[in-house]
């Protein structure tokens, strides 16, 4: 994290009171500044092209439930360059929260919030250095993803696709890197919303 840089934040939160409170909190910060607030994803998508942003603070409940397990997919190319932080004031499934670079609780102190944002910036930098990207999955990676979403273990995937277990593991790492999703449940939802599998193919 660059100690001399002023990091710009966008907030996506339907509550005007919470957004106003965050703006007030950061008024005197030399490190972070809120550039804009949006009350919906639609408003965010309409206005974000005019802004340069380093961090997005978003209330996960504003995202349609079936898309919450693929948080980074709606960010597109921006997912490579910004820290995405969850603003939590109700229960959110742990698999959803794992996709974020940081988490802010509604009851957090300002110091705790700043620490979470610093960590999110550092995590984003590490991901960028390690080659996190939002590229399309290859055909073979899609094959592996579909098998995993259908409930297959690594050995079963290897047998089905006639590849080694090590290759399966490598493909799964690439899939997680490209999608930003690490859990099987999240990858399953990703496969569903991208029409790679049908819900009838999932074994619960």
What pLDDT sits at residue 164?
Answer: 86
- pLDDT block averages, 10 residues each, the chain of length 204: 85 96 92 94 84 91 80 70 91 82 91 91 65 69 91 92 88 83 84 82 60
Same domain, 62 and 145: no
Distance (Å, rounded) from C-alpha 146 to C-alpha 5? 42
Q: Taking the model in full, what pTM does it have?
A: 0.68
Same domain, 14 and 75: yes
Domain final position from 129, 156, 185: 129
Q: How many domains does the chain have?
A: 2
Same domain, 118 and 163: no
**Which range of residues forms the domain containing residue 171?**
139-201
- Residue 165 contacts residue 154 (beta carbons within 8 Å): yes
Q: What b/e string do you get for 80-119 counting C-beta neighbours within 10 Å, with b at 16 or more?
A: bebbbbbbbeeebeebbebbbbbbbeeeeeeeebbebbbb
């Amino acid at each position: 994290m660059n100690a001399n840089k002023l990091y710009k934040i966008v907030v996506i939160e339907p509550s005007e009171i919470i957004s106003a409170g965050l703006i007030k909190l950061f008024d005197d910060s030399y490190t972070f500044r809120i550039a804009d607030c949006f009350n919906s994803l639609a408003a965010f998508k309409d206005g974000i092209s005019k802004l340069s942003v380093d961090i997005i603070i978003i209330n996960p409940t504003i995202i349609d439930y079936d898309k919450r397990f693929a948080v980074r997919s709606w960010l597109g190319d921006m997912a490579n360059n910004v820290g995405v932080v969850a603003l939590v004031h109700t229960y959110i499934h742990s698999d959803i929260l794992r996709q974020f670079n940081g988490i802010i609780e509604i009851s957090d102190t300002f110091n705790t919030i700043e620490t979470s944002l610093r960590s999110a910036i550092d995590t984003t930098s590490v991901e960028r250095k390690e080659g996190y990207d939002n590229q399309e999955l290859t055909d073979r990676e899609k094959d592996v993803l579909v098998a995993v979403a259908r409930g297959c273990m690594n050995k079963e995937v290897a047998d089905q696709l006639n590849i080694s277990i090590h290759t399966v593991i490598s493909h799964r790492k690439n899939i997680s890197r490209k999608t930003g999703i690490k859990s099987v449940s999240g990858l399953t939802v990703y496969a569903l919303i991208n029409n790679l599998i049908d819900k009838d193919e999932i074994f619960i």
